[in-house]
Amino acid sequence: MAHQWGMVIDLDRCNGCEACVVACHAENNISTVGEEQAALSRAKHWIRVERYYEGEFPDVRVKFMPVLCQQCDAAPCEAVCPTYASYHTTEGLNGQVYNRCIGTRYCANACPYVVRYFNFFNPVWDKPLHLQLNPDVSIREVGVMEKCTFCVQRIKAREIQAAAEKRELRDGEIQPACVQSCPTRAMVFGDLSDAESEVSRLARSSRATKLLGELGTRPKVNYLPQDTWHDSENA
């Protein structure tokens, strides 16, 4: 059976350091937009860490939640793209084909997670930062939508390597940049169609939930919310 890539994020372990955000920028050639554009909500953080404050001083609690493209199996963004720029791959990823994108931004409106980002201007890297661009990832021009791809370039590279070495992929061999850089190992990536993989095992946990699962998008990112003894809801 074809691989079905998925992810589990343990919110108990996430401490909001945002190393994943930085690593994603570095790996996927995402430019920074500058202070002014960021104030206009145009920053392109393919993975973002949401912060929620609860309670009053001195009992304030902060909850962190990394949100990235959920690679939904029933993705609302795919059906509305008029040029098939957003489509579902056989390995369960939501693919974004930059060459087909004409920038209608319908997919961004349809996405309930607001994880799609638009290039409002041509991306700019001040020298010498242009030297650190990843040659495996294309640069998107102005007018094109982009979003998290589960580092599909790394997935493809490992698959090609494994095929060349005539072996199966090992669980945990593929790590997107965010998973690789997380210091607390809060993120786990793997093959959901393999029942023995760590990601499948964690996804079967009684703590596992899906963000906005009630909308019927069938996302592939499972969240393990913070431990029950803090929350009165999950008794």
User: Where does this chain bind another protein (CB under 8 A)?
Assistant: 37, 40-42, 50, 52, 67, 73-84, 86-88, 90, 99-106, 108-110, 112-114, 117-122, 141-145, 212, 215, 217-218
Q: Which is nearer to another protein, 80 or 171 (CB)?
A: 80
CB of 35 to another protein, least distance (A): 14
Question: Shortest distance, CB of residue 46 to another protein, whole angstroms?
Answer: 12
Which of residues 114 and 163 has its CB atom nearest to another protein in the complex?
Answer: 114
CB of 104 to another protein, least distance (A): 6
- Closest approach of another protein to the CB of residue 148, in Å: 14
Write out the H or E segment, with its range, that includes residue 44: none
3 touches 191 (CB < 8 A) = yes
Please say which residue, 66 or 176, places its beta carbon nearer to another protein: 66
Q: Interior CA angle at 147 toward 143 and 149, to 5°?
A: 135
| Distance (Å, whole) CA 9 – CA 225 | 9
Nearer to another protein, 201 or 210 (CB): 210
Which residue bears the tokens 């169609």?
Answer: 193
Q: Is the peptide bond before 128 cis (omega within 30 degrees of 0)?
A: yes
Euclidean distance between CA atoms 212 and 223, whole angstroms = 11
Minimum CB separation of residue 121 from another protein in Å reads: 4
Which is nearer to another protein, 24 or 202 (by Cβ)? 24
Question: For 227, which DSSP code?
Answer: P
Q: Does residue 143 contact residue 102 with C-beta atoms inside 8 Å?
A: yes
